[in-house]
């Protein structure tokens, strides 16, 4: 895939399709977890797998609200109380956000994203690209926590790399609650997934 093709895939309906593929992969991964797995550590410092799944669930609901024009409400992004079936709740949250992103006319909207900015509004395709890169990386987090393979398709990774390169660095990465930690040095001869992980503050060799 050329850089031009990768960029084209992260605009318009291309990004909606890519995002759906990544989110559906996370659902399949989360469904591999049993209740005894929820205390496992994850690459997200200080978070158990239960914490990570709770965060991913809450963020799906926040993005669902954003697609409906309600993303400026910070409460829409906050995790709710613990649920009896966090794995099933995650699948339901994923279903809702994918349904919201596939809504007719969604790409003509602007998204308010309260956790990024209280005032800025983002074109829908750009906003969905943020969701796409977040869940590509969270899919890896879940897979690493469970010790299972994570192999996004080459087209997914080729489209994700320019998005990862565009994520701002600097002090914003150091604040509490930042979506990504400060970037790490990209290993020599790193594959595309490892490049993306390093750029976004994940060590490809975690937990080493």
Give me the residue spans of the domains in the chain: 3-153
Q: Please determine, for residue 11, whether its predicted confidence score (pLDDT) is greater than 80.
A: no
Class of domain 3-153: mainly alpha
Question: Is the pTM higher than 0.85?
Answer: yes
pLDDT digits (tens, 9 = 90+) for 67-107: 999 999 999 999 989 899 999 999 999 999 999 999 999 99
Between 8 and 113, the more confident residue is 113
Task: Specify the pLDDT at position 14.
Answer: 94
pLDDT digits (tens, 9 = 90+) for 112-141: 999 999 899 999 999 999 999 999 999 999
Instruction: Give per-residue burial for 78-117: e unless 16+ CB within 10 Å, then b.
Output: eeeeeeeebbebbbebbebbbebbeeeebbebebbbbbee
| Residue 204 pLDDT class (50, 70, 90 cuts) | very high
Q: Please determine, for residue 1, whether its predicted confidence score (pLDDT) is greater than 70.
A: no
% of the chain surpassing 70 pLDDT: 94
Q: For residue 62, give the DSSP letter.
A: H
């Amino acid at each position: 895939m050329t850089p031009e093709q990768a960029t084209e895939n992260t605009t318009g309906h291309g990004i909606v399709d890519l995002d759906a593929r990544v989110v559906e992969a996370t659902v399949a991964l989360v469904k591999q977890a049993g209740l005894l797995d929820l205390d496992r550590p994850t690459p997200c410092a200080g978070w158990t797998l239960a914490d990570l799944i709770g965060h991913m669930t809450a963020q799906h609901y926040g993005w669902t609200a954003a697609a409906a024009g309600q993303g400026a409400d910070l409460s829409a992004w906050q995790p709710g109380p613990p649920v009896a079936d966090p794995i099933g709740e995650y699948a339901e949250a994923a279903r809702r956000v994918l349904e919201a992103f596939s809504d007719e006319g969604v790409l003509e909207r602007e998204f308010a994203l309260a956790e990024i900015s209280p005032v800025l509004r983002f074109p829908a395709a750009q906003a969905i690209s943020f969701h796409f890169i977040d869940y590509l990386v969270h899919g890896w987090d879940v897979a690493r926590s469970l010790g299972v393979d994570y192999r996004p398709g080459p087209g997914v990774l080729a489209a994700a790399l320019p998005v990862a390169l565009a994520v701002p660095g600097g002090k914003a990465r150091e604040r509490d609650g930042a979506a990504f930690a400060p970037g790490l040095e990209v290993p020599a001869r790193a594959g595309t997934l490892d490049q993306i992980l390093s750029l976004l503050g994940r060590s490809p060799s975690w937990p080493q």
